Structure 1
Amino acid sequence: MRLLHTSDWHLGRQFHGLSLLDEQARAMDRLVELAGEAAVDLVVIAGDLYDRAIPPADAVRLFTDTLARLRAGGAAVVAIAGNHDSHVRVSVYDELLAAQGVTIRGRWQRAAEPVLVTPRGGGAPVAVYPLPYLEPLLEGPALQLLAAATAAGQLEPQRPARVDHQLAMELALLPVRADLARRPGVRSVLVAHAFVAGGRSSESERDLSVGNAEAVAVPTFAGFNYVALGHLHGAQQLDGPRLAYSGTPLPYSFSEQDQVKSVRVVELDPQGSPTLEVVPLGVGRPLRTLTGPLEQLLSDPRLEEARGAWVRALLSDEQLPRQAMARLRQRFPHAVELRHQPPEQPRAGASERRQRILQAADPLQRTLAFFADQQGRPADGEEERLLRQALAQAAARRP
């Protein structure tokens, strides 16, 4: 059987306040095209279908249109809710859609009800277990499940009363493993949304919890022929080809600018051993981070290739140039972020600076001393004029 693994579409997401829907639509077009070219039997979408629980209407239309085109191409579709999705909303029509070859699971309680996918070329069906993000299990019945599983000897006793993501995953997989045990010889695919220990994260993922309590260990997923993961935005594998993240179809933060966005086409042989091909999507506007003084960024011919990219500028000028972003956008129309990172200036000790400011009795002199302390240099003529003006306006407003 051949499947295409994708995840974390985040449909409806914005990039620095700008809509990405057109780029996302092109990514969906390419994904449908690849599914057809590879003649896959199954497309799995491992969570974060949308960027928020109540997505915009255009994002919903793009999602449903993409599923319809994938299904029209002959592939079954299995999707799960991620931590950005509403578990109830995304799966509201699951029972109806399942009859048409499209499964969208939001309820963890149904994880042990596999989707049986028969390869189009013949052969035994594959059991696909959709396990959505487990926050509802963490919030509610986990302790009762823990007590029952411990009493039944399914888990070791003396487990901590606090349920973290590791324990929640173990609990959720108990009925899944029980169902799989009743199907000897059946190949299996698990679709899950979690942070697996050892995975490389980026700035654009939403933390699942505080500290390290969100991590799930790799051995937790033993026994499945392929585990299609979602949540981390960079494509990566953690247990050879068997356990992998597909990553997002587009970069969603500058921390992802060096990632190659792709999907994974996985072939399960008759014994269930996976082989895979990582296929770059090659769509979307690239990201570039430019560092240096503004005038250099505006004149350097080597930066011409960044004109069509989303640009983040890290300006190293000693003083932030006036209208820096406007001037930057004259050359780089898609500049969206500017940070001022001037070189460090040697300064006097903290106590000496504080004493100098406090000794300046005159408000203007005290203000100028504070300015010099913060900027590492004295105010120039225009800056001193503006400070005088501000102090005069403040004095005029006093009763």
Structure 2
Amino acid sequence: MKILHTSDWHIGRTFHTHQTLDHLALVLEALVEVVRERRVDVVAVAGDIFDSAAPSADSYALLSGTLSRLHATGARVVMTSGNHDSATRLGFQSEWAGLAGIHVVTGFDQYRTPITIDDEHGPVHFYGIPFLEPALVRHHYPDELLKTHEQVLGLAMRQVRADLAERGGRSVVLSHCFAAGVTASDVERDISAGGLDLVPASVFDGPDYVALGHIHGRARLTDRVRYSGAPLHYSFAEADKPRGAWLVNLDAAGLADVEWVDLPVPRRLSVLTGELAGLVEADEFAVATQDWVAAVLTDRVRPLDGMRTLQERFPHCVALEHRPAVTATAEVASYADRVKHKSDPEIVAGFLEFVRNGVGQSEFERDLVAEVLGTAGAES
């Protein structure tokens, strides 16, 4: 059986206020082509289908169209809800979708009854574990201590292993969590009140393969426990992380092999560092003109209208940081000492030099300050 492991579609998410639906549609269309060309039997989507608990009509349309095209390939789909999803909205009419081979698992205990799909070697049981918030599920198990995700998923996996022991056969688990051994980027929202609630990879012992979601970069915790990452870049912190999915092959004995399949990147991400003049003039940066660009300006003085100037060369520049390459030594004298026996023009000049990292007034600024102070003195 061939299984394509993907996750974290985040349909409806923006990138620095820019819509990403068109780009995601291109990537998901490529994913459908992979399913068709590689004759994938099951597509496993491990949570965060939508980016919001209240998706837009366009977001629903993209999901519906993608699922229809996946269905047309002959593949089955198993997907679970993540911490960004509304389990109720995502699971609406899931019973009817299941009749078409599109299995949407959102109920807190649905994983206890697996979705069983047969191949020439027998059954493969898919246990879809949706995102389980401890505070929302612990009242269902009054005899269990369920304060952390490790405890909740520990309980879920004990139930999975007990069920599997009775059924026999091969198995795949889908889960949405922070598993130990991976690093989060700046767009993966905390799933606990006090920060990251890590789940040891050992919690997932037992199944032939564990398809994880929530981390936006691909990661291999063990041969059979992996993150696929998001299919689209949603942060500059992800710029160097490939986009794609894991193609998992199960044979009669269980996990046979796992192969990474690249997906297209509609617009690359580039972080460019240098002085403003160099970024907009140097030939070496020409390759980034159509990229999403985050610029780090190293000019000693923050340039006026820097973003507009950058966007003349990089129309998709969406972030700017001023990080001077040279910084002035901090003053140890008090403000009173610094201004003692100074004239008003000298105080203004000293202030500008202080806040601008040691760069003093230009001739124009000096004349302007003198004019303003002279006018103020005449009025008083």
Q: Is the 8 A contact 2:108 2:130 kept in 1?
A: yes
Say which of 346, 349, 356 aligns to 2:337: 356
- Gaps of at least 5 residues in structure 1 are 150-160
Percent identical across equivalent pairs? 37
The separation in 1 between residues aligned to 2:269 and 2:77, in whole angstroms, is 31
Aligned length: 378
1:295 aligns with 2:277: yes
Q: 1:6/1:141 Cα in 2 relative to 1: closer, same or farther (>3 Å)?
A: closer
Residue in 2 that maps onto 1:128: 126
2:233 corresponds to: 251
Residue 178 (1) aligns with residue 162 (2)? yes
Shift of 1:63: 0.5
Question: Is the contact between residue 47 and residue 82 of structure 2 (CA under 8 Å) also seen in structure 1?
Answer: yes
Match of 1:65 in 2: 65
What TM-score does the superposition give when structure 2 sets the normalisation length?
0.92
Match of 2:136 in 1: 140
Q: Which runs of 5+ in 2 are unaligned?
A: none
SS state of the match for residue 222, structure 2? coil
Distance (Å, rounded) in 1 between the aligned partners of 2:276 and 2:111: 54
1:265 has 2:261 as partner: no
Please say if 1:23 is aligned against 2:37: no
Map 1:1-399 to 2 at 5 A.
Answer: 1-119=1-119, 122-135=120-133, 138-142=134-138, 145=141, 148-149=143-144, 163-184=147-168, 186-209=169-192, 213-240=196-223, 242-350=224-332, 352-357=333-338, 359=340, 366=347, 368-377=349-358, 378-383=360-365
> Compared with structure 1, are the counterparts of its residues 344 and 93 closer, same or farther at alpha carbon in structure 2 (3 Å cutoff)?
same
Residue 329 (structure 1) shift: 1.3
The whole-number CA distance in structure 2 between the counterparts of 1:41 and 1:197 is 30
CA RMSD of aligned residues (A): 2.6
State whether residues 80 and 104 of structure 1, in contact with CA within 8 Å, keep that contact through their aligned partners in structure 2.
yes
Per-residue CA deviation, residues 300-357 of structure 1 (Å, 9 max, x unaligned), is: 112111111111111111112222211211111111111111124232433x043335
CA contact (8 A) 2:300 2:327 kept: no
Q: Deviations over 1:39-91 (max 9, x none)?
A: 11100111110111111111110001101110111111011111111111101
Specify the SS of the correspondent of 1:108: coil
Shift of 1:109: 1.5
CA distance 1:364–1:78, shift in 2 (3 Å): farther
CA 1:15–1:196 in 2, change beyond 3 Å: closer, same or farther? same
- Partners of 2:202 and 2:345 lie apart in 1 by 66
Is the Cα–Cα contact under 8 Å of residues 164 and 213 in structure 1 kept in the other structure? no
Question: 2:162 & 2:284 partners in 1: Cα distance?
Answer: 60
Q: Is the 8 A contact 2:273 2:297 kept in 1?
A: yes
Alignment TM-score, normalising by the size of structure 1: 0.88
Q: Using the alignment, how far apart are the partners of 1:76 and 1:213 within structure 2?
A: 33
In the TM superposition, what whole-angstrom CA distance separates every residue of 1:369-395 from its partner, at most 9, and x where no partner exists? Answer: 443322233333444677789999999
